[in-house]
Amino acid sequence: MIALTVLVLGDQLSPRHGPLATRPDDPVLLVESTAFAERLPYHPHKLTLVFSAMRHFRDRLREQGRTVHYVQSETFRDGFEQYAADHPDATLHCLRPSTHGSADGLREAATGAGLDIEFVDNDLFMCDAETFDEWASDREGYRHEDFYRFMRRKTGYLMADGEPVGGEWNYDDQNRETPPDDWEAPPVPSFEPDETTRDVERWVTERFDGGYDSPPYGGSWADPEEFRWPVTRRQAVRALDDFVSNRLPTFGDYQDAMLDSEWALSHSLLSTSLNLGILHPREVIERAIEAYHDGHAPLNCVEGFVRQVLGWREFLRHVYRREMPELATANALEATEDLPEFYWTGETEMACLSDVVDGVRTRGYSHHIERLMLLSNFALLYGVEPAQLNRWFHAGYVDAFHWVTTPNVVEMGLYAGDLFATKPYAASANYVDKMSDYCGDCPYYKTKTTGEGACPFNTLYWDFLDRNEERLRSNHRMGLVYSHLDNKSEGELTAIREQAGDLRERARQGDL
Q: Do 54 and 32 meet the contact criterion of CB atoms below 8 Å apart?
A: yes
Task: Note the pLDDT tens digit of each residue in 111-120.
Answer: 999 999 999 9
219 or 450, higher pLDDT:
450
For residue 225, give the amino acid letter. E
What pLDDT is attached to residue 175? 86
**Which residues, 6+ apart, have CB-to-CB distance to 244 below 8 Å?**
287, 288, 290, 291, 296, 297
Angle at 401 between CA 199 and CA 109, to 5 degrees: 80
For the chain, what percent of residues have pLDDT higher than 90? Answer: 91
Q: How large is the average pLDDT for residues 57-71?
A: 97
Output the CA angle 282-285-291, nearest 5 degrees: 135
- The model's pTM is 0.95
- Residues 127 and 282: their CA atoms lie apart, in Å, by 11
Question: Is the pLDDT confidence value at 215 over 60?
Answer: no
pLDDT confidence of residue 2: 58
- E strand map for 217-270: none
For strands 116-120 and 159-160, give the pairing.
unpaired
Task: Of 65-74, 216-225, 345-354, give the lowest mean pLDDT range.
Answer: 216-225
- What average pLDDT is seen over the chain? 94
Q: Radius of gyration (Cα) for the chain, nearest Å?
A: 24
As a whole number, mean pLDDT of residues 81-98 equals 95
Are residues 54 and 13 in contact, defined by beta-carbon separation less than 8 angstroms?
yes
- Judge contact between 282 and 313, C-beta under 8 A: no
Supply φ then ψ for residue 231, to 5 degrees.
-125, 0
Q: For 313-357, what is each residue's pLDDT tens digit?
A: 999 999 999 999 999 999 999 999 999 999 998 999 999 999 999
Q: In the prediction, which pLDDT does 208 show? A: 79
Biggest alpha carbon distance in the chain? Answer: 81
Of 317, 391, 294, 296, nearest in space to 40 by CA: 391
Tell me the C-alpha distance between 439 and 430, whole Å: 9
CB 50, CB 276: distance < 8 Å: yes
d(CA 187, CA 340): 33
- CA pair distance 205, 207, nearest whole angstrom: 6
Q: Which of 53, 108, 99, 109 is nearest to 79 (CA)?
A: 109
Task: Give 275-311 pLDDT, tens digit per residue.
Answer: 999 999 999 999 999 999 999 999 999 999 999 999 9
Give yes or no for residue 218 having a pLDDT over 60.
no
Mean pLDDT of 138-152: 93
Is residue 382 within 8 A of residue 389, CB to CB? The reply is no
| Phi, psi (degrees; rounded to nearest 5) at 475 | -70, 120
Confidence of residue 139 (pLDDT cuts 50, 70, 90): confident
DSSP-based three-state secondary structure for 297: coil
Is residue 245 over pLDDT 90? Answer: yes
DSSP strand E in 64-205: where? 68-73, 90-95, 116-120, 159-160, 163-164
- The bridge status of strand 3-7 relative to strand 28-33 is parallel
| 121 secondary structure, DSSP code | -
Question: Tens digit of pLDDT for each residue in 405-462?
Answer: 999 999 999 999 989 999 999 999 999 999 999 999 999 999 999 999 999 999 999 9
Under 8 Å between Cβ of 304 and 171? yes
What pLDDT sits at residue 324? Answer: 97
> Where does residue 313 fall: left (phi above 0), alpha (psi -120 to 50 degrees), or beta otherwise?
alpha
Query: Which pLDDT value is given to residue 214?
Result: 40
Domains and CATH numbers, the chain: 3-120 (3.40.50.620), 129-191+231-321 (1.25.40.80), 342-508 (1.10.579.10)
Question: How many C-beta neighbours within 10 Å does residue 198 have?
Answer: 14
Query: Which residues lie closer than 8 Å to 40 by C-beta, 6 or more apart?
Result: 391, 394, 395
